[in-house]
């Protein structure tokens, strides 16, 4: 019996090595030019973490002098320290075209006030000078939208003007913009009458993240009849999320009895199930309230939310959060999802676990590694980082073009138990987690600022490592 167990363990190890053979070989030095293979070993161990951010190729959208058609220019831009790709691209766009016959619709005195991103939504706040009216203003927004949606991980753009939501030509909220082929197409869409039977509208809904620490946006295309924006938003919240890693916030059985908007305050009246079926807990109550408040305040006409249950005020929702006062928007609790990969109990697969972090996290790459060091939350998952490793062992984390460069202390190497399977799971839990970010394709792992041949004798670290989807298995 013991002999059979040993044989099975050996078989599993061989299978895992064979599973990894192809992607690891793809990263080997045999694919490099001969002169690079012959480079001096000491030069190979240079301090890669000191490299400057690499240049990134981007596509910028401009227009012709009559604002009738869109044209593009390809450029290479270089990220400055602390600058996001979205910020760098917009700054370059605002500088204007370089090619003859290309024009910009963005006025020279228009300013970019604020840019932020949560999930696949970029929010752009511009100064009032941006809006010169007519077709030029529409083309200016199209230039921004089409340029941003060329970037990986960006699908929607929401515009604000001096901090207030943009209003379209029809007098209705502009909502989310997506890539548009022609100015005429966008103009026709914005001129659609609010009295039409129904029109398509991309709506931002907020649901609870996996740890009930943040609400995370989900974009949903809905059909809006007349002015029923707020009512439709609540109805969609009641349906729950469709995005993996997000959770419903409104209790089962809840019905919307009415919603009225007066002087910037939306009074929302729910059925008794909103209170009776609520699971309780201060975090749960906060998720419910914030998801509704932040969803409704996406509309510029709504600044405050007042809650009623069966037409009456209640001191608390379920015993914790004060509930009889109007609520305002809370930007601090908006998050974004990250996907972490941990080992299964048999140490032969990586399984994803969703986690939510602040939407404007300054260094998402570093935060991902910090969360990997903390280990898994879900049952049935095992940590992949060496025991005793701490956040202090992350010496640096930066992005160089499409490569994330991670610099660890020697503890990553000395505290690792070794073994081919163990090293492989450690490395690919890092690589697969970080390459979930839309602009990262590979990860370079350094020890004390230097390239290493292997992690602990088996897994090669001498080149940036690409994602290995063969190791991933959904739970």
pLDDT per residue of the chain (475 residues) written in tens, 0 to 9: 443 333 334 434 444 444 443 343 334 333 333 333 333 333 333 333 333 446 788 999 999 988 989 999 999 998 877 778 899 999 999 999 999 999 999 999 999 999 988 889 999 999 999 988 888 999 999 999 999 999 988 999 999 998 888 876 666 777 899 998 888 777 776 666 545 556 788 999 999 999 999 999 999 999 887 778 899 999 999 999 999 999 999 999 999 999 999 999 999 999 999 999 999 899 999 999 999 999 999 988 899 999 999 999 998 888 888 898 999 999 999 999 999 999 999 999 999 999 999 988 889 999 999 999 999 999 999 999 999 999 999 999 998 888 999 999 999 999 999 889 999 999 999 999 999 998 899 999 999 999 999 998 889 999 999 999 999 998 7
Bridge partners for 76 per DSSP? 57
Q: Using the structure block, give the residue that is written with the tokens 């350094």.
A: 446
Q: Which of 259, 278, 283 is nearest to 269 (CA)?
A: 259
| Lookup: tokens for 357 | 């972090």
Instruction: Let me know the angle formed at the C-alpha of 319 by 313 and 320, rounded to the nearest 5 degrees.
Output: 100
| Lookup: tokens for 187 | 């103009």
3-state secondary structure 269-280: EECCHHHHCCCC
Alpha-helical (H) ranges within 165-316 are 183-190, 229-239, 273-276, 282-296
Rg (CA), the chain: 26
CB atoms within 10 A of CB 140: 23
What DSSP string describes 119-182? TTEEEEEE-GGG---HHHHHHHHHHHHHHHTTSTT--EEEEEETTEE-B-TTSSB--EE---S-
pLDDT for res 197: 57
Q: b/e per residue, 56-82, with b = 16+ CB within 10 A?
A: bebebbbbeeebeebeebebebebeee
| Lookup: tokens for 194 | 């609010």
pLDDT for res 196: 52
pLDDT for res 191: 65
């Amino acid at each position: 019996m013991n002999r059979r167990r040993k044989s099975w363990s050996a078989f599993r190890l061989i299978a895992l090595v064979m599973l990894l053979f192809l992607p690891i070989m793809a990263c080997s030095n045999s694919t490099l030019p001969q002169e690079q293979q012959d480079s001096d070993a000491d030069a190979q161990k240079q301090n890669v973490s000191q490299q400057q951010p690499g240049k990134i190729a981007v596509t910028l959208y401009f227009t012709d002098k009559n604002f009738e058609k869109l044209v593009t220019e390809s450029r290479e831009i270089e990220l400055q320290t602390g600058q996001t790709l979205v910020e760098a691209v917009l700054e370059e766009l605002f500088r204007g075209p370089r090619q003859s016959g290309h024009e910009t619709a963005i006025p020279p005195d228009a300013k970019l006030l604020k840019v932020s991103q949560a999930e696949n939504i970029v929010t752009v706040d511009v100064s009032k000078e941006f809006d010169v009216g007519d077709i030029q203003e529409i083309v200016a927004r199209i230039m921004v939208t089409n340029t941003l949606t060329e970037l990986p991980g960006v699908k929607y753009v929401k515009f604000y003007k001096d901090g207030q939501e943009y209003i379209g030509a029809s007098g209705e909220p502009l909502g989310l913009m997506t890539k548009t082929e022609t100015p005429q197409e966008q103009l026709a869409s914005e001129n659609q009458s609010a009295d039409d039977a129904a029109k398509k509208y991309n709506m931002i809904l907020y649901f609870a993240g996996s740890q009930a620490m943040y609400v995370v946006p989900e974009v949903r295309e809905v059909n809006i009849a007349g002015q029923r924006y707020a009512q439709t938003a609540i109805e969609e919240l009641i349906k729950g999320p469709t995005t993996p890693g997000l959770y419903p916030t409104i209790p089962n059985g809840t019905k919307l009895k009415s919603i009225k908007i007066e002087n910037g305050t939306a009074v929302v009246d729910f059925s008794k199930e909103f209170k009776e079926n609520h699971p309780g807990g201060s975090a749960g109550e906060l998720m419910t309230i914030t998801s509704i408040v932040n969803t409704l305040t996406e509309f510029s006409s709504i600044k405050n939310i007042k809650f009623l249950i069966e037409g009456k005020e209640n001191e608390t929702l379920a015993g914790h959060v004060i509930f009889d006062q109007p609520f305002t928007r809370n930007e601090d609790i908006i998050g974004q999802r990250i996907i972490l990969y941990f080992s299964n109990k048999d140490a032969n697969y990586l399984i994803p676990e969703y986690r939510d972090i602040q939407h404007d996290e300054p260094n998402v790459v570093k935060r991902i590694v910090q969360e990997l060091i903390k280990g898994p939350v879900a049952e049935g998952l095992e940590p992949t980082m060496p025991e005793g490793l701490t956040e202090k062992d992350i010496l640096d984390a930066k992005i160089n073009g499409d490569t994330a460069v991670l610099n660890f202390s020697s503890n990553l190497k000395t505290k690792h138990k070794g073994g081919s399977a163990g090293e492989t799971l450690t490395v690919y839990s890092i690589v697969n987690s970080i390459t979930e970010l839309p602009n990262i394709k590979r990860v370079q792992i350094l020890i004390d600022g230097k390239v290493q041949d292997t992690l602990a004798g088996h897994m090669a670290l001498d080149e940036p490592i690409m994602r290995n989807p063969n190791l991933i298995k959904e739970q």
